[in-house]
């Protein structure tokens, strides 16, 4: 199974791992989950939609990254996977 990663677990960054799946699935673990869970989910969903991707599992370990960081890490991870 193909997987790829981008990012880090440094403060203000996130580590995004993507792998092939039958449908999109998002797993979020974040130090600011209580405050920003839905925003993190939304930026991942909308990025996948923009790229018309519907068959990856996205796992994010978030250390307080801002939306544009999350998006950049996700796009890079997908590129590395060959999407």
Partner 1 sequence: MNKNEFVNTLPKFSGANEYKKVERKLVNKKATSSTVKFLKSMPEAFDELKISDGMTLSFHHHLRNGDYVQNMVSEEILKRDIKDLHYAPSSIFPTNEILCKLIENENVTTIDTNYLNGPVAVTIGEGKLKNLLYLNTHGGRPRKIESGELPIDVAFIACPTVDKNGNGYGGKGNAACGSLGYAHSDLEYAKKVVLVTDNLVDKLDRVELDGKYVDYVLVVDSIGDANGIVSGTTKITRDPVGLKIARNTAKLIDELGLVKDGMSMQTGAGGTSLAVAACVKDYMIKKGVKGSFASGGITSYFVDMQKAGLFDELKDVQCFDIGAVESYNTNPSHHGMSGSKYGNPYDDPVVDYLDFVILGATEIDKDFNVNVATDSYGKIMGGSGGHSDTAHGAKVSIITTNLIKSRLPIIKEHVTTITTPGEDIDVLVTERGIAINPKRVDLLEKLKDSKLPLKTIDELYDLALSITGVPNTLPTHNDVVGVVQYRDGTIIDKLYKIY
Residues of the shown chain interacting with partner 1 in the complex, contacts defined by CB under 8 A: 11-12, 31-32, 34-39, 63-67
Instruction: State in angstroms the smallest separation of the CB of 35 from partner 1.
Output: 4
Which residues touch 14 (CB under 8 Å, ≥6 apart)? Answer: 7, 8, 30, 60, 61, 62, 63, 65, 69, 70, 73
Residue 23 or 34 having the CB closest to partner 1: 34
Distance CA(40)–CA(54), nearest Å, equals 18
Instruction: State in angstroms the smallest separation of the CB of 23 from partner 1.
Output: 27
Instruction: State in angstroms the smallest separation of the CB of 12 from partner 1.
Output: 6
């Amino acid at each position: 199974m193909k997987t790829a990663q981008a990012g880090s677990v440094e403060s203000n960054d996130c580590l995004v791992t993507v792998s092939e799946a039958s449908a999109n699935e998002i797993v979020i673990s974040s130090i600011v989950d209580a405050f920003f869970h839905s925003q993190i989910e939304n930026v991942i969903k909308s990025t996948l939609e923009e790229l018309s991707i519907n068959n990856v599992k996205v796992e994010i370990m978030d250390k307080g990254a801002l939306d544009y960081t999350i998006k950049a890490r996700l796009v890079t991870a997908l590129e590395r996977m060959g999407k």
